[in-house]
């Protein structure tokens, strides 16, 4: 138990409520929130902006070597962390379904995964973080003291995403959004490196009929009763 890290790892498919829950849990524990998906989205955005084909090895390596990603706490009243790519706030460009698809694509590339995994391990090495993503419990922080897998039915996940996008003023085609969510989860689960999967020790939670507060309380109680020091 002594080599366990004071890290909460929350993995699961898109739209399961990971971001809201991770942020809320981090507040409750007074831990730092680490949104690893935002980092994959930042790489996707940089590729898109610089017109680098994700498959292009040398160009992509060059892009990664020059890329500075900073995650800052959300502004007052905002939900999502601020993401700075090479010093520029680009958060609002990252949350679209299209950038999610591109992030999923770049996240399957080995050089991207190893680069971001190292950065995430560096950011989390002092512990006291809540990390969310697809592989935080399996690959990035295998020694995390607390691991959860947060799931929900695809239709419910689609509805949450649709509400979120509409609240940002976007037009939403629900059938198309559902198809995108299913495809992204399939691709994320079937890729060769660090696929989306439940860590053996992770606690499985389904948020289909539970709100974020309920899930946060379940996680918090589990952490308090786990026997690992906070
Ligand atoms: O959590 P998100 O929707 O912002 O993640 C966007 C994409 O990034 C997701 O489809 C797969 C990838 N990702 C990943 O491969 N590993 C992570 N730890 C987090 C995200």
Give the model's pLDDT for residue 54.
83
- DSSP β-bridge partners for residue 7: 129
Class of the CATH domain delimited by 5-223: alpha beta
Question: What is the rounded distance in angstroms from the CA atom of residue 183 to the CA atom of residue 146?
Answer: 29
Instruction: Average the pLDDT over 81-106 and give the result.
Output: 93
Q: State the Cα–Cα distance between residues 187 and 26, nearest whole angstrom.
A: 29
107 lines ligand 1 (CB under 6 A): yes
State residue 166's pLDDT score: 94
Q: Name the pLDDT band for 2 (thresholds 50, 70, 90).
A: low
Whole-number Cα distances in Å, 139 to 51, 59, 81, 209: 29, 26, 23, 29
Q: What is the mean pLDDT of residues 29-52?
A: 96
The rounded distance, in Å, linking the Cα atoms of 184 and 37 is 13
H or E element in which residue 82 lies: strand 82-85
The pLDDT of residue 75 is 74
Query: Which segment of 68-82, 103-117, 192-206 scores lowest on mean pLDDT?
Result: 68-82
Going by alpha carbons, the residue nearest to atom 16 of ligand 1 is 134
Ligand 1 binding pocket includes 141 (Cβ within 6 Å): no
pTM, two decimal places: 0.95
- Output DSSP code: residue 142: T
Closest approach atom of ligand 1 to CA 15: 3
The domain limits of the chain are 5-223
Q: How far is the CA of 227 from the centre of ligand 1 (A)?
A: 30
Regarding the beta carbon of 184 and ligand 1, being less than 6 Å apart is answered yes
State in Å: Cα 108 to ligand 1 middle.
10
Cβ of residue 37 lying under 6 Å from some atom of ligand 1:
yes
**What pLDDT was estimated at residue 207?**
96
């Amino acid at each position: 138990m002594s080599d366990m890290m004071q890290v909460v790892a929350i993995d699961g498919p898109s739209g399961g409520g990971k971001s809201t829950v991770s942020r809320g849990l981090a507040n409750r524990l007074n831990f730092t929130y680490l949104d690893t998906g935002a980092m994959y989205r930042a790489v996707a955005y940089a590729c898109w902006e610089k017109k680098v084909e994700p498959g292009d090895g040398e160009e992509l390596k060059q892009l990664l070597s020059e890329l500075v990603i900073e995650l800052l706490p959300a502004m007052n009243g905002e939900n999502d962390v601020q993401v700075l790519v090479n010093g520029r706030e680009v958060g609002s460009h990252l949350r679209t379904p299209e950038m999610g698809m591109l992030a999923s694509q770049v996240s399957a590339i080995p050089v991207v995964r190893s680069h971001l995994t190292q950065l995430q391990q560096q950011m989390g090495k002092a512990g006291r973080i809540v990390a969310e993503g697809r592989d935080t419990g399996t690959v990035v922080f295998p020694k995390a003291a607390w691991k959860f897998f947060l799931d929900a039915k695809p239709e419910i996940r689609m509805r949450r995403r649709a509400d979120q996008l509409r609240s940002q003023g976007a037009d939403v085609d629900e059938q198309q959004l559902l198809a995108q969510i299913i495809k992204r989860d399939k691709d994320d689960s079937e890729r060769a490196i660090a696929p989306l999967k439940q860590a053996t020790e992770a606690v499985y939670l389904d948020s289909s009929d539970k709100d974020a507060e309920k899930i946060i309380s379940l996680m918090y109680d589990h952490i308090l009763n786990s026997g690992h020091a906070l």
